[in-house]
A = this chain, B = another copy of it.
Amino acid sequence: MTGQDVEAVLRAGGHRITRPRTAVWAALVDADDHLTAEEVAARVEQQDAGVNLASVYRTLTLFEELELVRQSRLGDDPAGRWEITHPDDDFHLVCTVCGAVDHHVGSLVQTVRDHLEGGHGFAVDEVDLTVRGRCAACAGATA
């Protein structure tokens, strides 16, 4: 999803292209990571001029409605974290030792979808698979 695609999605929904929206999107693209609203605001501030936190929240909420981004709440972190929507976004490996959050790209999510669609009559819209544990490096260090 490029910046131009985003502009097209916004326009299609009757929304305007504004500096805050462009800047928030750029911050999320650069990050390639899960950011809290405050982190997004901080990164925007470094690049462009500042964007108010309230506007960041409004922008993220809008993007979520347009399915451009997703919010997730990992572990017991009280703050919501945002990331750009892409097919494997919904599979998170969280290391409880070093704190790394990995987007594990694999076939498991599809397995889950197939299992549910096939046997349970449940129409799957979103799969959010969060696994907590110790990544290979940390598991090796403590073993």
State the A residues within 8 Å of B (CB): 64, 71, 73, 76, 80, 93, 96, 104, 106, 108, 111-112, 115-116, 120-136, 139-140
Least distance between A141 CB and chain B CB atoms (Å): 11
Contact in complex: B104, A129 (CB < 8 Å)? no
A116 contact set on B, CB distance < 8 A: 93, 131, 133
Known: A122-B139, A136-B121. A131 touches B131 (CB 8 A): no
Number of copies of this chain in the oligomer?
A: 2
A124 contact set on B, CB distance < 8 A: 131-133
Contact in complex: A123, B139 (CB < 8 Å)? yes
A120 contact set on B, CB distance < 8 A: 104, 136
- A122 touches which of B126, B128, B129, B131 (Cβ 8 Å): B131
Known: A73-B73, A76-B71, A129-B128. A122 touches B136 (CB 8 A): yes
